[in-house]
Amino acid sequence: MDKLTYAGNLESLKEIENDPNYKFVKGDIASAKDVERAIDEGVDKIINYAAETHVDRSIISPDAFIKTDIFGTYTLLEAVKKYRVAQYIQISTDEVFGSVKNGSFTEESPFAPNSPYSASKAGADHLCRAYFKTYNLPIMVTHSCNVFGLNAHPEKMIPLFITNLLEGKKVPLYGQGQQVREWIFAQDHCAAIETIIEKGQSGEVYNIGTGFEKTNLETTKFILQEMRLGEDKIEYIKDRLGHDWRYAINSQKLRGLGWQPGVSWEEGLRRTIKWYQENETWWKCIKSGDYLEYYRNQYGKKN
């Protein structure tokens, strides 16, 4: 089920279009009517990936984030209660914990969200906890580090940079590019969710992390090097408002269930670059407007 906002694209599901195990329902998770219509199709598990996700958009206009990320989750949880859905997994982010200078966040770390996006996700996670405690429903929550891979919307950092470079443009890097992010290849994230579906316990929270920590400058330089381009392609721009310095997550609990990442950061990036090189039609249709121009207008060029 997907509302097909600007971020959704059925083209990405073309490969499984005729799979007998797949049926698409266009709908809004914040609409009880739409959710019930989807459940009527015969649903026993709900894995909620649907969300407004782009931090920059949440800074400009938080409204849709509150509606989808908080109210949408509430609507799904009500449906879990009403229809006795057998399993509900809330896909959340490490950003709910805020920024960490040293060490890493565990499942017990307190929430300290710093953007309207992470605050909305944190609100939804609290609702999940409350629905488990209050109604004893089969609910689990995951907190993942930054995901990258194929088919990602070109507003996210890695696809934005790759596609800008393919278009001959520069890449807008916040501040000095010293913020640290932990990265997971999307396929490994899917494998983690599969492990949790099979072995996770209701009421539990699982962090999903790889240990692949990189500064944004390191990620940028690696992409430039792989695409045989120089650092003159970097345009340093003013830092994002309330920008978290470092995210890092401890995923020992999930690894205890038998999961571990299978794709290295380097290999994942190489596959991602190749995919965008070979799928220009896909991203060109989606990449509306000039994103570098957008960032310049939003934050101004750094002196």
Ligand X SMILES: NC(=O)c1ccc[n+]([C@@H]2O[C@H](COP(=O)([O-])OP(=O)(O)OC[C@H]3O[C@@H](n4cnc5c(N)ncnc54)[C@H](O)[C@@H]3O)[C@@H](O)[C@H]2O)c1
Cα angle, residue 186 at apex, residues 185 and 190 outer, rounded to 5°: 125
| 49 near ligand X, judged by CB under 6 A | yes
Minimal distance, residue 147 CB to ligand X, in Å: 4
Residue 41 annotated to the active site: no
| 244 near ligand X, judged by CB under 6 A | no
Residue of 93, 163, 179, 251 interacting with ligand X (CB under 6 A): 93
In whole angstroms, what is the distance from residue 94 CA to residue 146 CA?
8
| 3 near ligand X, judged by CB under 6 A | yes
Kindly name the residue from 117, 174, 206, 295 that is annotated as catalytic: 117
Kindly name the residue from 95, 125, 182, 213 that is annotated as catalytic: 95
Name 207's bridge partners: 143
Minimal distance, residue 160 CB to ligand X, in Å: 12
Residue pair 87/44 in contact by the 8 Å Cβ criterion: yes
Q: State how beta strands 213-215 and 180-185 pair.
A: antiparallel
Kindly name the residue from 52, 94, 107, 155 that is annotated as catalytic: 94
Residue 117 annotated to the active site: yes
Minimal distance, residue 30 CB to ligand X, in Å: 5
Minimal distance, residue 99 CB to ligand X, in Å: 15
| 224 near ligand X, judged by CB under 6 A | no
In whole angstroms, what is the distance from residue 11 CA to residue 24 CA?
12
Beta strand extents in 72-165 (DSSP E only): 87-93, 139-144, 146-148
Considering only residues 119 to 158 of the shown chain, the ones binding ligand X according to CB under 6 A are 121, 144, 146-147, 153
C-alpha distances out from residue 61 to 103, 151, 172, 205, Å: 32, 25, 21, 29
Q: Give the residue numbers annotated as catalytic, written as ranges.
A: 94-95, 117
